[in-house]
Structure 1
Amino acid sequence: MAGTSFYSATRLIAEREIKSLLHTKGFWIGLGVIVVGIFAAAILPSVFGGDPDKVAAVGPEMSRVLAGTDLEVREVADVAAAEELVRSEEVDAAVVPDTTGDSPSGVRVVALDDPPTDIVAQLTVSPPVDLLDDATVGQGERQVVIMVFALLFLMFGVGGTAIAQSTVTEKQTRIVEILVSTIPVRALLAGKIAGHALLTLGQVLVLAVAAPIALSIGGQTELLSVMAPALGWFVPFLCLGFVLLAAMWAVTGSLVSRQEDLGSTMGLVMMLVMGPYFAVIFFSDNATVMTVLSYVPFSAAIAMPVRLFAGEAQVWEPLASLGLLAASVVLIVMLASRVYSGSLLQTGGKVRLTKAWAHAD
């Protein structure tokens, strides 16, 4: 491969990484677990159901309206008390007397931000529904989207450890010395990133096919139509976010010469993978924190699509966030390339970052 151009060398390494990973059982087992998880999440709720919905009823008359239903009824004295229970989310909805004359049944249903279709369906006559805090997207739908995006980012981010393991294996077996004698070191890094990024995109396409089938079997096709616009933004954010992390995973592998030493260098990258997952889960209801997270490169892949899904982001915001993420990718890849080239051929123990930086070509 002497005289191989940077592009050709990158392509060859990418093909090598893809073929190598496709021949491992772990790759297929991991993808299978994700697909099975999607089907389980879509189908099991409709099979096993859940706890009965909690409803506040104003006075004995409203309690009698709910007699014979599968609802957990909590009787209160007045409408104000019922609305307070709804706002505090102690109950899912409240059944109150209709004072407007619009309801043929003489009752109205009060909910927080999402029409309680399961509760309304159990009433003899469908009453009007009043929302105390009308939202573009229901809270339940929002939580589902957050969990899906966060888990996918977490799984693909952690999957980048394969890049670090591959790099350590090449150093430990001294194959890397043969490789760098025929191709540029930076082409080796670029090929690894490109190969694993293409594999990640391929897995996303598999999930894009599996998800509609799973949701259709589980009777949740409406959720897919709601999620579709956010998914359109999530894919480019996920791909750029993976490239960002992939460059850092490659560096963690280049700093050590044995697989058993890899744990000493991967702490920071693992934190950058796990941090966004927990941050979005814990602060999903905090608009200010979610806005900040949507512009932080390591969490933007989750936070910005979620804000778009909920209708909380302006039209220009995803473009600005994606541009900032792309610029961060370029910067991190450049820095990682220098450290990678300065540490790849050094063996005998963990290489300090300052030493790797000083020995870069």
Structure 2
Amino acid sequence: MNTAPSFASSTWLVAEREIGSKLRSKTFLISTGILFLITLAGVLWAGFAAQSDTRIPVAVTGETAQIIAPLDSAVDATEVGSAEAARDLVREGEVDAAIIPGGEGGFDFTVVGDDAVPSSLLSALSVSPPVELLQPDGDGDDGLMRYFVSLAFGVVFLMAAATFGSTIAQSVVEEKATRVVELLISAVPTRALLAGKVVGNTVLAMGQIIGLAAVAVVGLTVTGQTELLAGLGAPLVWFAVFFLFGFVLLASLFAAAAAMVSRQEDIGSTTTPLTFLVMAPYFLVIFFNDNPTVMTIMSYVPFSAPVGMPVRVFFGDAQWWEPIVSLVILLITCVAAIWVGAKIYENSILRMGARVRLKEALSA
């Protein structure tokens, strides 16, 4: 006597079907490969650009070497034996300028250039007044780093969530329109079908996230950015954890929203609000990555926590307990979303024709 498969077995059968169909898709494999290559190229370019020597080549003599000693980070000095030798290096184009002894107007040195002198060199040689910072713990030089790190987390979340969310929605509507779903439901429970779709696409999405993280680690290692790599360790782990549950939440809602329509062209009418939720963290970190209030709120809102909290952890803005509290909020929201999504999916998946209204889907 044959027995019906358990809920877990049915879920895994559907998940295997989702994973297998994607891995057999050349479009999916090619797009994933291109994404990895673009990520690797971006990390390598940023690493080599950071390592490139942007210092100003300058010729100095023994008498003027001490003048630019404090400017080692901005000036690449070549010491020669005489002022005339320094001038020769300028004429030959070996250096951009020369600093030789002797001057006028209270200066004991002269800056020599060919047809011009680098303004950045003159700025570096200028005497600056003392500066007092009222907020010494502000962003300062970390502003650009904060922007790029925030942008990286936002882009990865947006691409993965939007790509696989739309994939789930299209799969649900396709099976519903072709009535394949009726055959599937005759073999497995309705909720197992939904769970399998969510699990399968979550596995694929997490695979991409882990792959992107591995590519980033390789790129940072090759370019010698060990300090940045060490700082990304904990944020990447938190991002993976938050993304896992955040994606399950979104995937459940995408599947439920798609079950309410019967045609591919109607998907947008029910999934657009979810698409806005996916896009919101990306735009928020672009415009408000340096705003502590907005970033703190983002790190506790379930739909934006996968982006907001890892960014705050990376820059040391979050206390040790904050990611845990945020994760608990996300888990509670995830359970609620799965319950609502399952109810909508179960009540809508076999209804053909006009779009099912949300009230009807929840009360059927």
One fold, TM greater than 0.5?
yes
2:219 matches 1:230: no
Q: CA deviation at 1:328?
A: 0.4
TM-score normalised by structure 2 residue count? 0.76
Instruction: Find the counterpart in structure 2 of residue 347 from structure 1.
Output: 352
Task: Find the counterpart in structure 1 of residue 65 from structure 2.
Answer: none
> Retained in 1: the 8 A contact 2:146–2:290?
no
Distance 2:112 2:306 in 1: 44
Which residue of the other structure, out of 157, 160, 170, is the alignment partner of 2:161? 157
- Matched residue, 2:29: 28
Q: Give the alignment partner of residue 139 of structure 1, picking from 143, 150, 170.
A: 143
What TM-score, normalized to structure 1? 0.77
Q: Which residue of 2 aligns with 1:39?
A: 40
Q: Give the drift of 1:66.
A: 12
Distance 1:192 1:70, change over 3 A: farther
d(CA) in 1 for partners of 2:3, 2:201? 25
Partner SS, residue 79 of structure 1? coil
Q: Paired residue for 2:9?
A: 8
- The counterpart of 1:245, out of the listed 224, 238, 250, is 250
Q: Return the offset for 1:217.
A: 3.2
Query: What SS does structure 1 have at the residue aligned with 2:325?
Result: helix
Distance 1:35 1:66, change over 3 A: farther
Cα separation, 2, equivalents of 1:265 and 1:62: 75
Is the aligned partner of 1:325 residue 2:330?
Answer: yes
Post-superposition offset of 1:267: 0.6
> What SS does the aligned partner of 1:315 have?
coil
Q: Deviations over 1:73-106 (max 9, x none)?
A: 54877415xx59xx8xxxxxxxxxxxxxxxxxxx
Counterpart of 2:129 (choices 53, 76, 79) is 79
| 1:145–1:227 CA contact under 8 A, matched in 2 | no
1:99 matched to which residue of 2? none
**Root mean square deviation, CA, Å:** 3.4
SS at match of 1:265: helix
The residue type paired with residue 311 of structure 2 is V
Contact preservation (8 Å) 1:141, 1:223 = no
Gaps of 5+ in 1: 88-111, 114-131
Q: Take 2:174 and 2:39, find their aligned partners in 1: how far apart are those partners?
A: 33
From the superposition, tell whether residues 312 and 65 of structure 1 become closer, same or farther in structure 2 (CA, over 3 Å).
Answer: farther
Residues 299 and 307 of structure 2 are in contact (CA less than 8 Å); yes or no, is this contact kept in structure 1? yes
Q: Structure 1 352/28 Cα, relative in aligned 2: closer, same or farther at 3 Å?
A: same
Q: What pairs up with 1:185-334 in 2 under 5 angstroms?
A: 185-334=190-339
Corresponding residue of 2:183: 178
Helix, strand or coil at the partner of 2:187: coil
Q: Partners in 2 of 1:330 and 1:190 — Cα distance?
A: 13
**Aligned CA distance change for structure 1 residues 44 and 358 (closer, same or farther; 3 Å):** same
Contact 1:35 1:207 (8 Å CA) reproduced: yes
The residue identity in structure 2 corresponding to 1:79 is: P
Equivalent residues of 1:46, 1:218 under 8 A apart: yes
Number of aligned residue pairs: give it: 311
Whether the aligned pair in 1 keeps the contact of 2:151 and 2:285 (CA below 8 Å) is: no
- 1:337 lines up with 2:342 in the alignment: yes
- By how many angstroms is 1:27 displaced? 1.7
| Distance in 2 (alpha carbons) for counterparts of 1:62 and 1:321 | 61
Q: 1:60 to 1:212 in 2, by over 3 A?
A: farther
The alpha carbon displacement at 1:312 in A equals 0.9
**Structure 1 residues 315 and 172, CA, compared in 2 at 3 Å: closer, same or farther?**
same
CA contact (8 A) 1:39 1:214 kept: yes
Structure 1 residues 166 and 64, CA gap change in structure 2 (3 angstroms): farther
Alignment partners' CA distance in 2, 1:280 and 1:33:
25
The residue type paired with residue 157 of structure 2 is: F
Distance 1:333 1:260 in 2: 25
Kindly state the Cα deviation for residue 327 of structure 1 after the two structures are TM-superposed: 0.6
- Structure 2 Cα separation of the partners of residues 144 and 178 of structure 1: 48
Distance 2:204 2:305 in 1: 21
CA contact (8 A) 2:139 2:290 kept: no
Change (3 A) 1:221 1:350: same
User: For 1:96-111, what aligned pairs fall within 5 Å after superposition?
Assistant: none
Q: 1:203 is aligned with what amino acid?
A: Q
